[in-house]
């Protein structure tokens, strides 16, 4: 028995209800999930991290048990939701860990509010702008779902009749350690994306691409970079492993370290939680030592 109590809560931020799971005490760590998951994806790392941190894993706007409004899926707004959540919980600063879409929210959050994000971890992504700059045949083959999700109405129509089949395609193709996505977790994700508005909200996250790229282009034009320490981690199977991922992040941040996670696909927190925890503990400890 760990003795760590895990609770759930709901915060009203920026006009929406945001569901979160919380454990531990101490400096705040925020864990941001990606698509097609919810905050459940952090189940194997939340309590171990909570041994010496307050750890909060929210469902992003449009996901899980959080509200699914018809607007607000650009990363600036989604990051503002998380910034308000931190204030609502009574904290001034947080270390932020983001995976997939959550990493894109975390990236924007850290750019817009560097005084609030003290350390940043990005899992299995390169910056959105960089991905489209490198959109050759290989990248397009790996990220075909982006282009599909961008289409109005069509993804909802085609996916709604077989949510499980669609999500399990990605859980099969994007993993190395498939046992990490156990049947109970997959069932929970299927239920989450079968809720009213959930498919549309998840696709709207992608459909905010033009707004997100415009912000990224503004940052590039002004030379603005991430100023806090950044840790970039990616699985040994998947597109980031075929790109100079660490070099790419060093173009977007002043202080970057990183590593490839061996024998791992896209879903790092579920496939290799032990290795992820080792990296996170070391990175977070560096912050306490400053």
Active site residues: 100, 206, 266
Is residue 251 within 8 Å of 223, Cβ to Cβ?
Answer: no
CB 174 within 8 A of CB 124: no
Q: Parallel, antiparallel, or unpaired: how do β-strands 117-123 and 94-99 relate?
A: parallel
3-state secondary structure 175-200: CCCHHHCCHHHHHHHHHHHCCCCHHH
Query: Measured between alpha carbons, how far is residue 174 from residues 25, 38, 44 in Å?
Result: 34, 16, 19
The Cα 83–Cα 87 span in angstroms is: 7
User: Distance between CA 66 and CA 40 in Å, rounded?
Assistant: 13
Edge-to-edge strands, sheet with 256-261: 6-13, 16-23, 54-58, 28-32, 94-99, 117-123, 230-235, 256-261
Chain-centroid distance of CA 168 in Å reads 19
128 vs 21, 107, 143, CA distance in Å? 28, 10, 11
């Amino acid at each position: 028995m760990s003795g760590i109590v895990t609770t759930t809560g709901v915060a009203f931020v920026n006009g929406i209800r945001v569901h979160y799971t919380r454990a531990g005490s101490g400096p705040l760590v925020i864990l941001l999930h990606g698509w097609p998951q919810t905050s459940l994806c952090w189940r194997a790392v939340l309590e171990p991290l909570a041994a010496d941190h307050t750890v909060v894993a929210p469902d992003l706007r449009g996901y899980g048990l959080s509200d699914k409004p018809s607007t607000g899926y650009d990363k600036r707004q989604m990051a503002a939701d998380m910034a308000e959540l931190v204030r609502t919980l009574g904290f001034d600063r947080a270390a932020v860990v983001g995976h997939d879409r959550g990493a894109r929210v975390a990236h924007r959050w850290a750019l817009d509010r560097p005084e609030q994000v003290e350390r940043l971890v990005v899992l299995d992504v390169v910056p959105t702008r960089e991905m489209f700059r490198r959109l050759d045949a290989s990248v397009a083959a790996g990220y075909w779902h982006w282009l599909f999700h961008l289409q109005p109405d069509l993804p909802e129509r085609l996916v709604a009749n077989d949510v499980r089949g669609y999500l399990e395609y990605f859980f099969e193709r994007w993993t190395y350690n498939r046992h990490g996505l156990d049947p109970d977790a997959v069932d929970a994700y299927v239920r989450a994306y079968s809720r009213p508005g959930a498919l549309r909200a998840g696709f709207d996250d992608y459909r905010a691409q033009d707004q997100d790229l415009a912000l990224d282009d503004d940052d590039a034009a002004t030379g603005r970079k991430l100023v806090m320490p950044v840790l970039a981690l990616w699985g040994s199977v998947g597109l980031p492993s075929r790109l100079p991922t660490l070099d790419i992040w060093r173009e977007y941040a002043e202080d970057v370290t990183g590593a490839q996670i061996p024998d791992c696909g896209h879903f790092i927190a579920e496939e290799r939680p032990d290795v992820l925890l080792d990296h996170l503990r070391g990175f977070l400890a560096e912050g306490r030592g400053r």
